[in-house]
Chain A
Amino acid sequence: MRRIVSVLAGIIVVCCVASFAFAGPTIKVGIVDTYTGPVTTYTYDVRDGFKMGVDQINAKGGVLGKKIEFVVRDDTFKSDVGLAMAKELILNENVDILMGTINSATALAISELCKKEKVPFLVTFSKSGKITGEKGHRYVFNLNENTDMIGRATATVFAKKPYIKYWIAGDDYEYGHAIADAIWSHLKTLNPKVQMIGQSWWKMRETDFNPYITQILAAKPDFVIVATGGGSMVNFQKAAQATGFNKRAPFYQHTGIELSTLMPQGQNAPEGVFGTANYLFYYPETKVNKSFAADFEKLYGRHPKSGALYGYMAAQFIANAYKKAGKIDKEKFIDSLEGMALDSPIGKLEVRKCDHQIVLPMFYGVTKKSPKYEFLVGGDLVSIAGKDYMPTCEEISKARAK
């Protein structure tokens, strides 16, 4: 009996301490993202970049006298799991803000939940244009580029090139099709002369691209748009290098010049691949970008990729929005985040008021060898300003009205 009493007493003490801890002076952020499987190469960067930002903010005393703390949940890339975790974070953990995910379907599901529960949701890596487009609302913010923006930015570049006969190829899932559709529809508007002579779609995580490459080369296109993501980025470039595809048919990939694609291949990546990226640790060569990259490398022993920037900036936006709001309140937080512009390692980033989409520059370039690094980098880099490839606020409100 005595033992039971002491155990019960113990439980009560633990509960009290725990509840004090929860009610303590912190701002709580819940992160739902995928931490298993191949996409971890992107999501770990978001998490680590966010942690770096949060640690710096907390070291300076936090925001409004409160520290930022965060809890992480692994949704294993499954939408239903992610949604359940988001619910748990809202109901049990009482988070002030939700963040995540890399899976667009999960992001859209959590976005609906946050609309109902009135909790701000910051999207850090999902690329679906629907998140801040037709499915956008007051409680969702997208802090990275989306497929619609990628399509517009790419189309502005290629509309000026002399290519006429295009072939479109890509991963047969939503991201691949969304990128291809966005590029193609904007390219056709900007340059009505272009024609699509064929398409090929392979399954996600295809390992052997040679049969597809042979078929594309036989059709002799002027240019090939390759809409791949994740592991297929490297796989396709390796196949292009082995077959000399890039020398016979020039091709483009979003993130084709990014570190996640080029670093694994070392000196053997194909040269002359056209690509876009939203973050490169070596460009722009500004002091703030260099010091951001150096800080990240010192902490984690690797160069930061785009996810690191998004995570880091999420922390900055959270801190500054609360500072501006003057109190910890979800509605006030949203009001002050709307239209907020902050300095970042790649220049000023703005959270657009009308659709809650971040406005950020896009870097366009061509893969080439570098005397400085053991891997290829983006060469002949051009920066496309965010305002030049955003859908207009009128287009957004039209899409939302549908």
Chain B
Amino acid sequence: MGFLEILFSAGTLSQILTGLSRTTILFIVSSGLSLILGVLRIPNIAHGSLYMIGAFTAYSVISFLGGGTFAFFAAMVAAPLVVAAIGFVMERGFFSYLYDREHLMLLLLTFSFALILGDLVKIFWGTEFRSVEPPAFIQGSAEILGLPVPYYNLFLLAVGPFIAVFLWLVVNRTKIGKISRAAAVDAEMVSAVGINVGWVFAFTFVLGCFLAGLGGALIAPMTSVSLGMDHSLIMEAFLIVIMGGLGNVWGALLGSLIFGLSQSLGIMVWPQFGIVFPYLAVVVVLSFRPRGLLRSVW
């Protein structure tokens, strides 16, 4: 098959749709990581573990409520809140004491949290793989030009823009959002005008963790909820954040789009080596724009 033939084949549309639904999860998780990186300057390695806890909590809520549409939406709200609460304890209880120390300390602390949270998941939920189903109205798949696209992927596609608009509103239209943007540029100046920077940091960290939890809850019906699901994601999320520009939420969106689409379209062109395409995209982007696509706040 020629390249053009592949490009205009029936598979292209469904590949774009599934690629975009992948983008949604990547964006939700990496925007949280980027927020924390931008404002608090913490490369939060435990972000993946928080995502994993989000998925396990969603599993528990859905099984506790016995499945169904209500249980699903309850889990989508409860899981991010639980993770946000864990984030609050992490920030107030540990990170807040280390802001004047060098960044290496913070990095080590996030690493230890990744290990501790991973073990806590093992203690709480055990070692079996877990699985939850999407609610009945988004089970199965739609047929687009003869190829299946799962309704759940289409649901994610619809959720993505809402999250993006919500984040835009929080960051650009609320007072705390504006303060956190200012703190990202110059935390000292913000505290000099009498604002308690500590609470700005706490708010941002909790919001970032909320997003990690939401990403985990949303991926739960698509995959097996299991130990180790944090590892592959944290790598991808960091690459996206670096590609998009450190600390820039819109950069995270752009990075997620490139990552998600290059994967799904790459698989179509060359299925045997489909996995290299997103990483190739990262290399290309960073060769031309070493500081990322959009302005980095660092």
User: What residues make up the interface of A, taking CB atoms closer than 8 Å to B?
Assistant: 36-38, 40-41, 44, 172, 198-208, 210-218, 231, 233-235, 238-239, 242-245, 248, 260, 263-266, 268, 302
Contacts and interface: CB of A to CB of B under 8 A. Distances in A.
Contacts of B223: 207-208, 231, 234-235, 238
5 contacts: A205-B228, A207-B223, A208-B222, A233-B224, A234-B129
Contacts of B128: 41, 260, 263-264, 302
Contacts of A244: 140-141, 148
B44 interface: no
B60 interface: no
A307 to B, nearest CB: 11
A258 to B, nearest CB: 11
Contact of A38 (B152, B228, B263, B275): B228
Given A38-B226, A40-B227, A212 B232 contact: no
Contacts of B134: 242
Interface in B239-282: 263-264, 267-268, 271-275
Contacts of B118: 36-37
Contacts of B19: 211
A243 B148 contact: yes
B226 A41 contact: yes
Contact of B127 (A41, A199, A202): A41
B150 interface: yes
Contact of A40 (B14, B122, B147): B122
A210 B224 contact: no
Q: Name the residue in A201, A208, A233 with the highest tally of chain B Cβ atoms < 10 Å from its Cβ.
A: A208
Given A40-B227, A210-B153, A211-B267, A243 B131 contact: no
Contact of B271 (A212, A245, A260): A212
A218 B148 contact: no
Contacts of A248: 148
Nearest to B59: A264
A237 B21 CA distance: 19
A346 B272 CA distance: 38
A287 B65 CA distance: 38
A40 B228 CA distance: 10
A322 B81 CA distance: 57
Interface in B138-158: 139-141, 147-150, 152-153
A234 B141 CA distance: 18
Contacts of B18: 208, 210-211, 214
A231 B226 contact: yes
A208 B22 contact: yes
A199 B129 contact: no
Given A205-B229, A211-B18, A218 B10 contact: yes
B285 to A, nearest CB: 20
A215 B227 contact: no
Given A207-B223, A244-B148, A263-B128, A231 B228 contact: yes
B110 interface: no
A206 B223 CA distance: 9
A85 to B, nearest CB: 18
B69 interface: no
Nearest to A199: B272
B150 A210 contact: yes
Contact of B227 (A38, A204, A210, A235): A38
A166 to B, nearest CB: 14
Nearest to A247: B148
A401 B165 CA distance: 66
Nearest to B261: A211
Interface of B: 9-11, 14-15, 18-19, 21-22, 118-119, 122, 127-131, 133-134, 139-141, 147-150, 152-153, 219, 222-224, 226-229, 231-233, 263-264, 267-268, 271-275
Closest 4 CB pairs between A and B?
A: A234-B224, A40-B127, A200-B271, A38-B228
Nearest to A245: B148
B273 A201 contact: yes
Given A202-B274, A264-B128, A265-B131, A242 B15 contact: no
Contact of B141 (A216, A243, A263, A265): A243
Nearest to B130: A264
Given A264-B129, A266-B131, A214 B147 contact: yes
Contact of B15 (A204, A214, A245): A214
Q: Name the residue in A211, A234, A235, A248 with the highest tally of chain B Cβ atoms < 10 Å from its Cβ.
A: A211
A170 B222 CA distance: 18
A242 B139 contact: yes
Nearest to B134: A242
Given A231-B229, A242-B152, A215 B268 contact: yes
Q: Name the residue in B129, B150, B232, B233 with the highest tally of chain A Cβ atoms < 10 Å from its Cβ.
A: B129
Given A238-B223, A244-B140, A264-B128, A211 B148 contact: no
A211 B263 contact: yes
Nearest to A40: B127
A214 B122 contact: no
A302 B126 CA distance: 12
A238 B274 contact: no
Nearest to B10: A218
Given A210-B150, A214-B11, A214-B15, 16 more contacts: A38-B226, A38-B227, A172-B275, A211-B18, A214-B14, A215-B15, A215-B267, A234-B226, A235-B224, A238-B131, A242-B152, A243-B148, A244-B141, A264-B224, A266-B131, A268-B133
A231 B225 CA distance: 9
Contacts of B267: 200, 211-212, 215
